[in-house]
Structure 1
C-alpha cells in the first residue's frame, strides 16, 4: 500500500515513492503536502523517508499508526527527526517501539525542539522508556499534548513523567490511561499540578490508584489548579477519597468534567457529592457509572439536581449501578430537559450581547455625527466672524 498524503486538507491522493514495491531514488514529498499518513512502509522506503524528513521544511504532521514499527525502525526514523525543524505532530500509536525505540525517538525530539503533539499509545513502553520520555518533556518548550495510553508504565516511570510535567510550561493534555503508575505516579502528577503546570486535561484511568493517590489529586484541586477535565475512572478509589475530591470541588473554579466511573463508590459518598451539586457552578459533566449507588442515592441526587439554582451540569452519568430503570429514566429526563434549557439561555444571552453591541455601535455612530455637526457649526460661526471682521477693517480703510 502506498503512502496516503493529505495536501492542505484536500481529498487524499496517492503518491508513490516510499511504497514497498515502488521505491525510487530521488523521490521527495511534494511541497504542497503538510500531512502524511503512511502504511506498510518498507525498510528502504523508511530510509529514504528518514533522509527526506531530516531536511524537509513543509510537512508538519506525520502519522505512522499501525505500521508494525519496532526498535530498529524507530532508530532509522529518529535519525531523520533529529535534524528536522518543522514537524509539529508525530503519531506512532499501536506499534511495538518498546523502551529502546522510544528512547531513540525521545533523544531525537530533544534535538528537534519544536514538536507539539506526540502520540505513543500501545507501544509496549515500560519505565525505562517513560524515563527517557520524561527527559524530552522536561526539556521541551513547545510540547502541548502527550498520549501514552495502554502501555506498561509502572510507578517509577509514572513518577518520572509527573516530575517532568512540572518542568514543561506548555503541556496542556496528558493521557496516561491504562498503565500502572499507582499512587506514586499520581502523587508526582498532583505535585506538578500544584505548581505552575498548565495541564488542563488529564487522564489516569485504569492505573491502580487508591485513596492515597486520590487524596493527592484532591489537594491539587483544592489549590484550584488549572485542570478542566479529569478522568480517574477504573481505579481503586473508595468513599474516603471521594470525600476529599468533592470537598476540594467546593473551592475549585476551573474543573468542568470529572469521570469517577468504575471505582468502589457507594451510598456513603452521597453527602459529599450532594454539596457539589448544590454549590458548584462550574462542573458540566459528572460520571459515576459502574459504581455501587442504589435507588436511595438516586432519589437524593434527583431532588438535589432539581433544587440546585446554579446548576451548569449537562451530563450526569449514573448507569450500571444498583439503580432501578425508573430512577435512571427520571434522572436522564431531567438532565436532557435541563441541558435544553441551558442551551436556550445561552442562545438568548448571545442574542442580547449582539443587540448590546449593535446598540453601542449605533450610539457611537450618532455621537460621531453629532460631533461632526457641532464641528461644522463652530467652523461656520468662526468663518462668519472672520468675514465680519474683514468687512469692518475694509470700511475703515
Structure 2
C-alpha cells in the first residue's frame, strides 16, 4: 500500500492511484481519472494495480511528456490482463514520452509481464536518458533474450556517457525473478562493470548458474561504492561440473571473496540458496576473517551447507573484522545448535542484532514488496517509523544509496 497519496496528503507533487483497479481503455478514461494531474508540478507518479490499453497509454504518454519536474515514475503492475499484442505499443508510448523528461530519476516497471518480446521499447529510454539513477524491473518475465537486451542497452548507455565525457549516474538496479539465466548473465556482468557508481544490485531468483554467477560478481566488483548485493537463489557452483572435473566447490566463494576486497563499503550481502557449499562458504568466511568490513551489517547465508568448521571462522570474523554486523542468517544450515552459533548470537545481541537460525523471518528477509514502495527520498517523502526495522531494511539501504 502507498505511504502517501494525493488523496490523503493533497500534495500536488504526488499523483497516486495505486490499487484503484481502474481499467483505462480510452483517452477519455485517462482524462477523467487524471483530472488532478498538474504537469507543471507533479514530481512523482504511482499507478500500480491499474491497467492501461494502448490508447490509454498514449494519453498517459502525452501527459508525462509535458511534465516539468517528474522524478519518480512508479509504473509497476500497469498491464493487468493485457495481451502480448498490446503491451509493446503501450510501453513504447510511455517510454518514448519519458525520454523527453530530463528530470526523471527513478523508473519502476516491476511486475509487468513484458517477456522477451516486449522488452525492446525500453531500449531507447535506457540508452539515451542520462538521469535515471534507480531502475526496477523485478518480475517482468524478461528471460535470457529480454535480459540481454536490457543489459546491452545499459552497456551502450555507459559507452555514450563516456563519449560525452560523463559518468553514469545509475546507482540502483533491481532485476530479480526474470529467468535471466546464463544466456544474459555475461551481458549483465559487463553492464554492471560499466556503471561504477552502482550501489545496489538485486538479481535474485534468475536461474543463473556458475558461469553467469561469476560474471555478475566480477561485474559488481568493478563498483567500489557498492552497498547492497543480493544474488539469492542463483547457483554459485555447478555440481555436475564438479563431478566431472574434480572438486572446485570453492569457486563461488572465491568470486565473492574477491568482490569483498573491491567493495569495502558493502552493507548488505545475501547469498542464500546459492549453493556455496561448505568449501565455498569456508573461502568466504576466511575472506571476511582476513579483511576488515566495518560497514557490513546484514549477511544472509541460508541453505549453504555450512557447519561448525565454517562457524568457527565466522565467529572470529564477527568478533574482529565485522564490528557493524547485526543480522546473520544461517537458516537451513547444519549444526545450528552448536555453541559457536550461540556465541555469535550473543555477540550480535549485544549490538542489538540477532542470528537467524530458522525460517521465521523468511518473508522478512526475502520479500520484494519493499521494492514496490516509494523507497527513495526524492521529494523528501516521509516514511512512518513505527514498522519493524527488518521490514524496512532494504528500503533503508536504498535511502542511504540515494543520499550519498
Q: Would you call these one fold, judging by a TM-score over 0.5?
A: yes
Deviations 1:305-360 (A, max 9, x none): 33x256443322212223333554433222222467xxxxxxxxxxxxxxxxxxxx
Q: Report if the CA contact (8 A) 1:203-1:232 is conserved.
A: yes
Structure 2 SS opposite 1:322 = coil
Corresponding residue to 2:153 among 146, 151, 164: 164
Q: Report if the CA contact (8 A) 1:116-1:145 is conserved.
A: yes
Corresponding residue to 2:98 among 102, 106, 109: 109
Q: Report if the CA contact (8 A) 2:315-2:344 is conserved.
A: yes
| Structure 1 or 2: more helix by fraction | 1
TM-score (norm 1): 0.71
- CA–CA distance in structure 2, aligned partners of residues 242 and 37 of structure 1: 43
1:79-228 to 2 correspondences below 5 Å: 79-96=62-79, 98-166=87-155, 167=157, 169-228=168-227
Corresponding residue to 1:325 among 337, 345, 353: 337
Q: Report if the CA contact (8 A) 2:193-2:221 is conserved.
A: no
Aligned to 2:394: none
Deviations 1:356-383 (A, max 9, x none): xxxxxxxxxxxxxxxxxxxxxxxxxxxx
Aligned-residue CA RMSD (Å): 2.7
**Does 1:277 pair with 2:288?**
yes
- CA–CA distance in structure 2, aligned partners of residues 304 and 170 of structure 1: 34
Displacement of 1:188: 1.8
Corresponding residue to 1:47 among 24, 27, 31: 31
Structure 1 SS opposite 2:279 = helix
- Structure possessing the higher radius of gyration over alpha carbons: 1
Alignment coverage as a number of residue pairs: 314
- CA–CA distance in structure 2, aligned partners of residues 40 and 135 of structure 1: 30
Q: Report if the CA contact (8 A) 1:177-1:206 is conserved.
A: yes
User: 5+ residue gaps in structure 1?
Assistant: 14-31, 341-397
Q: Report if the CA contact (8 A) 2:204-2:232 is conserved.
A: yes
Q: Report if the CA contact (8 A) 2:29-2:56 is conserved.
A: no
Q: Report if the CA contact (8 A) 1:258-1:285 is conserved.
A: yes
Q: Report if the CA contact (8 A) 1:51-1:80 is conserved.
A: no
**Does 1:34 pair with 2:13?**
yes
Q: Report if the CA contact (8 A) 1:50-1:80 is conserved.
A: no
Structure 2 SS opposite 1:233 = coil
- CA–CA distance in structure 2, aligned partners of residues 297 and 131 of structure 1: 45
The structure, 1 or 2, with the larger RCO (C-alpha pairs under 8 Å, 6+ apart) is 2
TM-score (norm 2): 0.70
Displacement of 1:37: 1.3
Deviations 1:194-242 (A, max 9, x none): 2344221111001111111221133234445432211100112224222
